[in-house]
Structure 1
Amino acid sequence: MPESLIRAIRWDTVVGALLIALLLLSFGFVDGFGNALNLSFLLGNTLPIALIALPMTLLVVSGEIDLSVASTAGLSGAVMGRLWNEGMAIETIVPLCLLLGVVCGLVNGLLVTRLGLPSLAVTIGTLAAYRGIAQIVLGSDAVTDFPVRYQEFAAGRLGTTFLPQAFLPFLVLLAVAVVVLHATPFGRSLFAIGASEEAARFAGIRVKRGKLILFVATGLMSALTGVFWALHYASARYDNATGLELSVVAAVLLGGIDFDGGKGTLGGAIAGVFLLGALQNVMSLLNVSAQSQIVVTGVLLVISVLAPRVARQISLARAAGSTG
């Protein structure tokens, strides 16, 4: 293969090609994959991962991570269920849940940016704390009697198509995130922060403020996901979205976002999200157990961290050999 072609191939391009290949094989050889009901089911189940992946991508690009996203979503759903049981209108509940997400993200961000604590350790702690608060708020109850029109929006399809109604708002949020990361000074500053926080600070970039904004945005989007989850599955429980953080992180890293920060594209991250979602859907259709699916997700997480580093070492070795 020509050297110029090797350099042109990026990890996110490979992930996009793998997604297309998986879809083609699934349409051709997996019974039931191509029917409208299953495709709608696939997209609806993938949307919670995709929603959180938007701010998570920006956060990882800046060199940080938030493992409390699933617990924030669960807390948002639990508060939503509790307030609905108390008789509050859903139009009032949703903004309050989103505000709660902002508070959760703000707590994470302040602990990381003001106290200098590592985001991995902080968000492991808040992962447990937010989930515990959710259980205190709602207990073991499950709230299922939300307004039908909201449940239809979260779980219904656009006319006779396979596209979920909630997919269109997601596309708007995706467009906003792409513009922010790849076409604004703020987005460029995130790559600079991830590549070298010290150099970014010397360049006049307000590193702490940028990271704090990202943690707040991640908390906000996690809370929105919690609301969507409760309406989509018609059930608000304290343990909603348990384990979702693993899928989000695996998908983002699988899409080529460097865990050390400073590299990656939002297109690659979203390709990773839908590659993981399609793979899980295919495994379900093939009656692969849920435990085995978790194993596959874990293996993909390891591969997504390891493969770009191996490719980088190979590239460096080839460069050293060509100059030697």
Structure 2
Amino acid sequence: MTQSAVPNRLSGNWRHYLLRWETFLLLVAALVFLFNSFASPYFLDPWNLSDATFNFTEKAIIALPMAMLIICREIDLSVASIIALASVSMGLAAEAGMGTGSLVAIAIAVGVACGLFNGLVVTGFGIPSIVVTIGTMSLYRGITYVILGDGAFTDYPSEFAYFGQGYVYWVFSFEFVLFLGLALVFYVLLHHTNFGRRTYAIGNNPTAALYSGIKVNKHKLILFVLVGALSGLASVLLTSRLGSTRPSIAFAWELNIVTMVVLGGVSILGGAGSILGVVIAVFLMGLVTFGLGLLNVPGIVMSIIIGAMLISVISIPVLLGRWRAMRERQS
């Protein structure tokens, strides 16, 4: 190798990292952080920043397996309703006198059951997951309204509050530390295991993956169960933080979760994306919503901004692809 080849390789690597979507997200997040620092004198307070993590941690935990599911060309829009059903199940168990450990186990079990049902219908009958999970979104939420009506469950054990309100150290909440730990687990799972490689293979070409020996339906079923399980876990955190269960709990969260995933660079068409990008997108959305909250921006305006972010992120790659194709034809 010549001496000139080494600088060329180094410059190529730097160019590769600079042009990554994750780098762009980091830059935007830094600009948002800087803007918020000047816009509100309360933004840089450590406890305020800690409180801000409560607004996105539960959603972010679900975004991790959702990213893998979307990479695999599937989606689950019933996650918010799974949270509600798991929360109602915990409320019923708490009224029956069950302890904290049993409540956590019940919530995760309900999440697993819902995810398994979604996955079995999708893989067993070949129905598109977006259709199936829109149906189960209404089904699971409807069950919660049948059980609770306009009522609420509030009689939870005192130690149950730690999951959604406790701190591990200083300003670092249990929820936030749990999210960071799960992010590391899913990073390794997607990027450094055969399971992750199979996920990308299915997302890029399901037919080729099937003929190469990958059990495509089984793989997808596992991912649906993972999404359901972490939805159940998120239900534990959210119910603990609120201290109560209502049938409208986590209403419309699926939009925020999908936005986190797609904003993180996961292709809605499957086959591409990274956990690192999703984690950065989570913090970016957290900074945006927290900063707008400090400026007393109404919730409906935040919803408009999140919707605009989702449309923009989906549209930008399509427009760039058309622009490149047009330039190639002209040349």
With normalisation by structure 2, the TM-score equals 0.91
Distance 1:302 1:218 in 2: 23
Mean alpha-carbon deviation: is it higher for 266-275 or for 143-152?
Answer: 143-152
Residue identity opposite 2:113 in structure 1: V
CA shift in 2, pair 1:168/1:8, >3 Å: closer
Give the count of matched residue pairs. Answer: 319
Structure 1 counterpart SS, 2:116: helix
Aligned residue in 2 for 1:179: 188
Equivalent residue for 2:252, pick from 239, 243, 255: 243
Mean alpha-carbon deviation: is it higher for 86-95 or for 250-259?
Answer: 86-95
Equivalent residue for 1:78, pick from 78, 85, 88: 88
Aligned residue in 2 for 1:205: 214
Distance 2:190 2:309 in 1: 25
Matched, 1:140 2:156: no
Distance 2:195 2:26 in 1: 26
Distance 1:31 1:227 in 2: 33
Mean alpha-carbon deviation: is it higher for 224-233 or for 23-32?
Answer: 23-32
Indicate if the aligned counterparts of 2:91 and 2:155 stay in contact, CA closer than 8 A.
no
Residue identity opposite 1:113 in structure 2: T
Matched, 1:267 2:281: no
Indicate if the aligned counterparts of 1:23 and 1:278 stay in contact, CA closer than 8 A.
yes
Equivalent residue for 2:167, pick from 123, 138, 157: 157
Deviations 1:190-236 (A, max 9, x none): 11111111111121111101100000000010011111100012121
> Shift of the alpha carbon at 1:173?
1.2
Matched, 1:34 2:32: no
Equivalent residue for 2:229, pick from 208, 220, 225: 220
Alignment of 1:1-324 (within 5 A): 5=15, 9-159=19-169, 161-318=170-327, 324=331
Distance 1:169 1:158 in 2: 10
> Shift of the alpha carbon at 1:237?
1.5
> Shift of the alpha carbon at 1:27?
2.2
Indicate if the aligned counterparts of 1:81 and 1:138 stay in contact, CA closer than 8 A.
no
Residue identity opposite 1:305 in structure 2: I
With normalisation by structure 1, the TM-score equals 0.93
Distance 2:133 2:261 in 1: 17
Q: Percent identity?
A: 36
Structure 2 counterpart SS, 1:114: helix
> Shift of the alpha carbon at 1:158?
3.6
CA shift in 2, pair 1:179/1:282, >3 Å: same
RMSD over equivalenced CA pairs, Å = 1.8
Structure 2 counterpart SS, 1:71: helix
> Shift of the alpha carbon at 1:174?
1.1
Return 5+ residue gaps in structure 2 as ranges: 1-10
Indicate if the aligned counterparts of 1:256 and 1:308 stay in contact, CA closer than 8 A.
no
Distance 1:311 1:14 in 2: 15
Indicate if the aligned counterparts of 2:264 and 2:277 stay in contact, CA closer than 8 A.
yes
Deviations 1:283-307 (A, max 9, x none): 1111111111111111111011111
Residue identity opposite 1:66 in structure 2: D
Indicate if the aligned counterparts of 2:265 and 2:277 stay in contact, CA closer than 8 A.
yes
Mean alpha-carbon deviation: is it higher for 120-129 or for 28-37?
Answer: 28-37
Mean alpha-carbon deviation: is it higher for 27-36 or for 262-271?
Answer: 27-36
Distance 1:280 1:82 in 2: 33
Distance 1:283 1:87 in 2: 41
Indicate if the aligned counterparts of 2:163 and 2:236 stay in contact, CA closer than 8 A.
no
Deviations 1:13-68 (A, max 9, x none): 21122112211221233231111232122111110111100100000000110000
Residue identity opposite 1:89 in structure 2: G
Distance 2:147 2:103 in 1: 14
Distance 1:271 1:7 in 2: 15
Return 5+ residue gaps in structure 1 as ranges: none
Residue identity opposite 2:189 in structure 1: V
- Larger-Rg structure: 2
CA shift in 2, pair 1:53/1:275, >3 Å: same
